[in-house]
Structure 1
């Protein structure tokens, strides 16, 4: 017999979504401040990429460990600890005196987010029962994540120009304190199965593999083909070592049995694709608006507002469509929409009017992004048992964050490789090719949709008779 649902569950969801919005926003808000940070802290053009990528790598690379830690030590306890570390590292970011200090502090932020995000999502999954309510809760969660990934430029512009880039980090502190104070009274605690060990070897190997991979992509335009290939081989070897470690571990970071679920594997491929596109396209659009068009941070934020707005609408519509039609058709259409939006963006020029191309490209891309993030989140978590909630949510979040780090690196490399000179026209030429390259990310996501073949993924995710909306 099922226990009565928690009467505070929707307030708890709101609190958890606030924390989730903050950590996803922090990954994207920094993009608009990159020119100011680069100027104030004397970063090199290549070095400043580590400000967004360092956060995303530590976040994504350690999410799997963070999910298991939350399962073993108690999800509410780990959630509150993550909040405190996130607030403290945000202060350190704001007070950073050198580029190296900022990259280090961003890494600490990523570590905090790596324990905060999966503990929050696993609390959601254990607070809501299977069926319609869980799907609705996961849909809201996915919508918040999608909006957080696109709203950074809208928020970051006024903050950067008005208060200084340091305040994009300082604003996290009161949010962390508020949520930490309310969490004990609102959130229920839960644990996964009792297992000894945290599989540190697995965490180190997978994180190292990801760092080497992103480093190889970032450095590729200025490196020889042989050096890039060597780094790629090292990354692949570390991934293989990670799999070997997991097979032999008594308490694996990622139980390989969870990959038997086609819905989980496909859902995470969809999530990777939207992470690649969301962060990659947003980063290139930031560069195009500020470097090629000469827009201020505030003007850029206003220009990109349509992306966040249509992502909100897309996520709301997407949640209802997934409930009615299932993940596969919604995800496929959403991916194609992002590809069409990127194609429109690939036609921009230095003298393009905003409402001529960019407005429509961002609108189409945002609608697909919002709906697709919801579909990917529901697909990746819909078949997960409660005991694996932490590790599965960590994996799903890791896919979005790592996709973001790789997306920035890949599209930046494409833009650099297709730019000859530093004039606005030359820069725009490279940006156009980078926008068009987003179709490679769409292809990754479509592979994921093809795996949504299980009964639970192919049919509507909640029984029609129990639907009240």
Structure 2
């Protein structure tokens, strides 16, 4: 059962997401409101994840239309990714202090408005600025979507099903980005990869106003941890920027070295401020004494270092080795998407049968086998052996993996810390993807440009991902043992003690 802070009333989390006219309207009204909240959270998360990758196939069109140079074009991607990663911890804590509905609506407005500006941009500078504000909106919005779910649905089977649906939609958003970007760019214009967010955002905003009621404002009398927010943002942003420069400038380049040094120093200062000086810490140190959070986020970091770069290297393999066009490459991701969604939807039943920790171990091991198979693909492997077979195996493991990790790191957390826990989990996944991509690009770097040479290069990256998933298996063994139950005590450790 979720632990509550001293100021929480018993129905506080329900009121956060249930209209007041449903309070006495019976179980049907509450279930209907909860379903609407789930749909709302999933729609918002889909937009956030989609915009990480949707611009990739549209970059050549954007370059020609707005006159970007080769150095500036990367910032169409990096402006979003850097701001998103840098502000995730702050976005998570804002929901705890100032109310989930208020922060959700703020993030949605920022994201939707900046999408409109970006879609209408007539200069490189305006588009990059709009993408940066999009990243800020996403950093506020993403933790809020998960916080709303964890405070709407009680721990146990109901929450696990909600998180599984949220995970499936997240996976679909990541996989669909290339496909949707290709279709919109080919059939309409590159501008619609951003403008499509406007009607979706408007509908989500209307749903938020209708189905989310204001929850208790916990920040009354408390100041936001501004020093912690600045240090966390500078630290994560500088670290992510430094890592993004490794491929082009090398580890010893001045830009890379300065950015990495600033990032490390800022994060060290952040840890000191949170532990000793902050009255309302952005990331309360007590959370790291909970074993499910400390170990679970380490596991999420390693998983993110595999699953986010996976789309990058698969896209290169399909386009540079198999010579697929942008649209055909997008269609090539359909097996990964469909199998991954099916696996995520199956995760709650598997968790109820074998427990979260065992499911993480088995899923990571299955994904590792799929990445190992993918590492052996050649230009002559053909679609069935070189792409479809590995896709089914790796996605069958990937689909059920994120749900038990997410459930583990958000269980046993008070409503007052739900946003901080959600922000941390989103941050570790995003940072894991950024760090993993930089390391894997370095591993895959080669001197050849023939399909055979490129296939070997990408094969090394997939082999490294398989090794990291083996590390996920080992790390998961240190997680507390839990089993999903439908009755009282759902989600608690099997031994009946709080896991630390």
TM-score (norm: length of structure 2): 0.85
**How far does residue 314 in structure 1 lie from its aligned partner after superposition?**
0.9
* 1:167-186 equivalences in 2 (<5 Å): 167-186=192-211
Candidates 257, 260, 277, aligned match of 2:306: 277
Which residue of structure 2 lines up, in the alignment, with residue 429 of structure 1? 456
* Counterpart secondary structure, 1:380: helix
Candidates 244, 256, 261, aligned match of 1:218: 244
Shifted more, 351-360 versus 369-378: the winner is 351-360
Kindly tell me: are residues 353 and 225 of structure 1, through their superposed partners in 2, closer, same or farther at Cα, counting changes over 3 Å? same
**How far does residue 139 in structure 1 lie from its aligned partner after superposition?**
2.5
RMSD: 2.6
Query: After superposition, what is the alpha-carbon deviation per residue over 1:398-435, rounded to whole angstroms, capped at 9, x for unaligned?
Result: 222222333333333333x2x21444444333222222
Q: Is the 8 A contact 1:59 1:114 kept in 2?
A: yes
Asked if 1:445 corresponds to 2:472, the answer is yes
Candidates 273, 280, 293, aligned match of 1:251: 280
Asked if 1:142 corresponds to 2:186, the answer is no
Q: Is the 8 A contact 1:147 1:370 kept in 2?
A: no
For 1:93 and 1:166, locate their aligned partners in 2 and report how far apart those are by CA, in whole Å. 8
For 1:237 and 1:443, locate their aligned partners in 2 and report how far apart those are by CA, in whole Å. 31
* Counterpart secondary structure, 2:376: coil
**How far does residue 311 in structure 1 lie from its aligned partner after superposition?**
0.5
For 2:122 and 2:381, locate their aligned partners in 1 and report how far apart those are by CA, in whole Å. 39
Q: Is the 8 A contact 2:243 2:434 kept in 1?
A: no
**Which runs of 5 or more residues in structure 2 are unaligned?**
1-8, 12-22, 491-500
Kindly tell me: are residues 299 and 110 of structure 1, through their superposed partners in 2, closer, same or farther at Cα, counting changes over 3 Å? same
* Counterpart secondary structure, 1:145: helix
For 1:349 and 1:268, locate their aligned partners in 2 and report how far apart those are by CA, in whole Å. 35
Shifted more, 85-94 versus 191-200: the winner is 191-200
User: What is the count of residue pairs matched by the alignment?
Assistant: 461
**How far does residue 115 in structure 1 lie from its aligned partner after superposition?**
1.2
Which residue of structure 1 lines up, in the alignment, with residue 4 of structure 2? none
**How far does residue 260 in structure 1 lie from its aligned partner after superposition?**
1.0
Which residue of structure 1 lines up, in the alignment, with residue 43 of structure 2? 18
Q: Is the 8 A contact 1:274 1:400 kept in 2?
A: yes
Query: After superposition, what is the alpha-carbon deviation per residue over 1:72-129, rounded to whole angstroms, capped at 9, x for unaligned?
Result: 2221122112111111111222234454443332221110011112222222222223
Asked if 1:299 corresponds to 2:299, the answer is no
For 2:138 and 2:97, locate their aligned partners in 1 and report how far apart those are by CA, in whole Å. 18
Shifted more, 119-128 versus 442-451: the winner is 442-451
Asked if 1:69 corresponds to 2:94, the answer is yes
Candidates 139, 146, 153, aligned match of 1:121: 146
Asked if 1:203 corresponds to 2:229, the answer is yes
Kindly tell me: are residues 211 and 61 of structure 1, through their superposed partners in 2, closer, same or farther at Cα, counting changes over 3 Å? closer
Asked if 1:237 corresponds to 2:265, the answer is yes
**Which runs of 5 or more residues in structure 1 are unaligned?**
none
TM-score (norm: length of structure 1): 0.90
**How far does residue 196 in structure 1 lie from its aligned partner after superposition?**
1.7
**How far does residue 39 in structure 1 lie from its aligned partner after superposition?**
5.5
Kindly tell me: are residues 52 and 353 of structure 1, through their superposed partners in 2, closer, same or farther at Cα, counting changes over 3 Å? same
Candidates 158, 173, 177, aligned match of 2:183: 158
Max radius of gyration: which structure?
2
Q: Is the 8 A contact 2:304 2:430 kept in 1?
A: yes
Which residue of structure 1 lines up, in the alignment, with residue 343 of structure 2? 314
